[in-house]
């Protein structure tokens, strides 16, 4: 894990990598939102990231995020929090109080539940199981069109785009065809947001059209757990 001083430097380095990937693909760096993934990271380092200019944060567990945010109330009001992990319906109501955006809508059942329990319009992304891994959640690419049509009928949900987690690969180039396929799917569906790319592969994801990247280790260092 990094210390406070490392965080600012790491964020600057990530921003340079984003800018270079954008330059290579003829895109503006403004077209990519950097979400700092703070799972397992304590409030002090979250605060350091905020002070270094990070405005978007991602967490994969409702309870962890809730506990952390209890000591970050000042930051909470000025930042956007993204749920990026699998969400069980029994935690969905709490999640709505903790997060601004739910990136990990992976079933019609979850979408219905959130639609029914939300007291506001909730921005959401639909998670696509890009590589067809049985162990991972998300809609298979072939079912996403039908799911989108159904979810668009549900009140209080604002479907902004797609999110995908690609399997860890030794060479980020191996992820490129998967990123490309999901981008094509997103284009067909005509949605603005495309959340893909993590510490090891976000440059390739940007080259293939990611509008939002989720970066943990490159900012906060290796996770101990
Ligand atoms: C942990 C996590 C990330 C960040 O991964 P790093 O390799 O630490 O950058 C991104 N997306 C999801 C869904 C995650 O769970």
Percent above pLDDT 90 for the chain = 91
Which tens digit of pLDDT belongs to each residue from 99-110? 999 999 999 999
Out of 1, 38, 84, 222, mutate this one to test ligand 1's pocket (max ligand atoms within 8 Å of CB): namely 84
Which atom of ligand 1 is nearest to 200's Cα? 7
**What's the mean pLDDT when you consider all of the chain?**
95
Task: Give residues (CB < 6 A) around ligand 1.
Answer: 37, 39, 60, 84-85, 165, 198-199, 214-218
Residue positions counted in the chain: 225
List b or e across 189-201, with b for residues whose CB sees 16 or more CB atoms inside 10 angstroms: eebebbbbbbbbb
What is residue 225's predicted lDDT score, i.e. its pLDDT? 64
Which tens digit of pLDDT belongs to each residue from 23-35? 999 999 999 999 9
17 close to 7: Cβ distance less than 8 angstroms: no
What is residue 1's predicted lDDT score, i.e. its pLDDT? 62
Which tens digit of pLDDT belongs to each residue from 207-223? 999 999 999 999 999 98
Which atom of ligand 1 is nearest to 37's Cα? 4
Average pLDDT score over residue span 181-194: 97
Average pLDDT score over residue span 163-179: 91
Helices (H), strands (E): how many in the chain?
Answer: 10, 8
């Amino acid at each position: 894990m990094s210390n406070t001083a490392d965080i600012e430097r790491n964020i600057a380095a990530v921003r340079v990598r984003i800018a270079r990937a954008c330059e290579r693909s003829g895109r503006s760096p403004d077209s990519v939102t950097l979400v700092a993934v703070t799972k397992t990271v304590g409030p002090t380092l979250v605060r350091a990231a905020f002070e270094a200019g990070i405005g978007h944060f991602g967490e994969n567990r409702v309870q962890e995020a809730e506990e952390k945010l209890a000591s970050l109330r000042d930051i909470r009001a000025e930042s956007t929090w993204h749920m990026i992990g699998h969400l069980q319906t029994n935690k969905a109501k709490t999640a709505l109080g903790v997060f601004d955006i739910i990136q990990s809508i992976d079933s019609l059942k979850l979408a219905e539940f959130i639609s029914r329990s939300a007291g506001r319009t909730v921005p959401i992304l639909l998670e696509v199981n890009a590589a067809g891994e049985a162990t991972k959640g998300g809609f298979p690419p072939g079912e996403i069109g039908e799911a989108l049509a159904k979810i668009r009928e549900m009140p209080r949900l604002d479907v902004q785009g797609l999110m995908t987690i690609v399997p860890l690969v030794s060479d980020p180039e191996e992820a490129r065809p998967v990123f490309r396929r999901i981008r094509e799917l997103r284009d067909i569906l005509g949605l603005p947001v495309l959340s893909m790319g993590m510490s090891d592969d976000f440059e390739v994801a940007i080259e293939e059209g990611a509008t939002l990247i989720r970066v943990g280790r490159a900012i906060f260092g290796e996770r101990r757990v």
